Amino acid sequence: MRSLLRTASESSLIRAFSLIGLLSLLPVNQVRTLSAMRDYDIWWHTRVGHWILRTHSFPHAGIFSRTGENLPWASYSWGFELIVARLQSYFGLLSGPLFAMAMDIIIVSVLFAILWRLSRSFWWSWLLTYVAIWAMDLNWVSVARPVMFTILFFTIELGLLFLASASKRGGQTALYWLPLLFIVWANCHIQFIYGLGTLGLFAVVATAEHWVARRKPSGESSVENSALNPALLWSVFGACLLATLLNPYGFGLYRVVFHYALESKFAFNVVNELRAMSFRRDSHFVELLLVLMAFFAMGRRKLEPFKLALLLVAAIAAFRSSRDTWFLSIPAAAVIACSVNRTKVTDDEVSSEPSLGLNRLQLAAVLAGSLCIVALSGYDSHFSQDNAIKAVQTVFPLDAATYIEKNRPPGPLFNLFDWGGFLIATLPDYPVSIDGRTDVYGDDLMRTGANSGNGLNFDQDPAFNQANLFLLPVYSPLCRVLERSPQFRLVYADKIALVFVRTR
């Protein structure tokens, strides 16, 4: 029985089908749920991308917002926004799901490849990849958003760092690619700072290990630790830091980082994806289990300070915000992958096993098979523009926006936080009062808008007092207030939204 299982586990056909299932898992889910269409931020990201393409410039103030038009704002995800704007020009509403599916396949492929390189075991890398993407819950917190670039680039960076620390010589030369990676990263998403911090942590730990090794007796110093050249690592770190400044805003990106790190607190209490894990989703339990397994695996072998420090820092960030679950899940999977590696492959040795456990022709067949499954799933679930519109109508006030666009009631417009991004895209002639760009508004404006939506102190809200048009979700307590007031008249209603105009 054992020999039969071993033969089955080494079968290229079984491995290929297993990998096809892994690669097609998230895209098939996206095809069937169209969760990218229900994302609140993809709409304003796309509109910003079109604005950049039309004006050939970059915004420095809160465009599309009447309350934020004079407030400073940097489009720190402009690279992503150009991509989704171009995709929308060709694929319409399906651009979001298509982008999400493409990034899902790329992220899973890269994560599997790196975990295989660290573990040298096809099935361990397959299992850890599956558990990691389950813990990250990509189709909930990272749907068609710029953070998908961060997840991809962080996975690549972490793979390079782990391989460099495991190599006896020559492995650190792969780190020379990191500055180029950070040039692209800093122009796609603000969370490049996570990658820069991880690289800095790696350099700090290597420097400390080098300092300790030099003070030990010659017979006790660690050859493996001394192979990490602190001067080289700090040079790479400095080059990466300079690379992040090659963006339209220069050092201004770090002011945005400062805002998110120290000034933005209210958003972490009201925005679902920014809240701490509630353990109301199975992915939260999977992430916790994955982290515990990583600490256990690390304790079974010689303690490596960088891995321990990284897991501790990542745990603090990820447990603070469920949006950052990837920042903990990927290192945890990588730590476990390193712990199961028994091959001791050095830089000069070549593994007899084909790359990723399959040869190139088989890997090409795996990719083709995955795409075929996704295509068949799309055909079965009627993946089309019409279904995309239906998905939008279940979450966003598409019909109400159509009514406003057709009847042109006088503005300004007052809206709530969740729908702001959608209204930026669908009502270009009505600047919103608030939207998902929390760095534009700050805690005070966000708190004021939230109180107004709940029917509290709305008469002290300048955005409310200046507005003549109100588009609100039917569940908003503010709707009950406006319905009873003679100063407002209900002009449109459906199952999703109510539209009021001020009468005096």
271-303 pLDDT, tens digit per residue, is: 777 777 888 888 889 999 999 999 998 887 778
Name which of 346, 281, 333 is nearest 307 in CA terms: 333
Q: Is the pTM of this model over 0.85?
A: yes
191 vs 5, residue with greater confidence? 191
Average pLDDT over residues 213-226: 56
Average pLDDT, rounded, for the chain: 88
Q: Residue 442 has what pLDDT?
A: 86
318 burial level (CB within 10 Å; 0-12, 13-18, 19+) = buried
11 vs 357, residue with greater confidence? 11
Q: Residue 6 has what pLDDT?
A: 64
pLDDT at 171 over 90: no
Contacts of 125 (CB under 8 A, 6+ apart): 112, 115, 116, 118, 119, 337, 356
Q: Residue 194 has what pLDDT?
A: 96
| Tokens encoding 419 | 């729908």
Q: Residue 230 has what pLDDT?
A: 87
Contact 445, 434 (CB under 8 A): yes
Report DSSP state, residue 61: B
451-472 pLDDT, tens digit per residue, is: 999 999 888 999 999 999 999 9
Q: What is the rounded distance in angstroms from the CA atom of residue 367 to the CA atom of residue 363?
A: 6
Q: What is the rounded distance in angstroms from the CA atom of residue 245 to the CA atom of residue 189?
A: 13
Q: Residue 326 has what pLDDT?
A: 93
Q: Residue 323 has what pLDDT?
A: 84
Q: Is 65 helix (H, G, I), strand (E, B) or coil?
A: strand
196 burial level (CB within 10 Å; 0-12, 13-18, 19+) = buried
Q: What is the rounded distance in angstroms from the CA atom of residue 47 to the CA atom of residue 210?
A: 50
Q: Residue 142 has what pLDDT?
A: 59
The C-alpha torsion from 228 through 234 and 235 to 237, rounded to 10°, is 110
**Ordered DSSP codes for 269-299:** HHSGGGSPP-S-SHHHHHHHHHHHHHHHHHH
Q: Name which of 32-41, 207-216, 475-484 the model is least confident about.
A: 207-216
Element (H, E) at 36: none
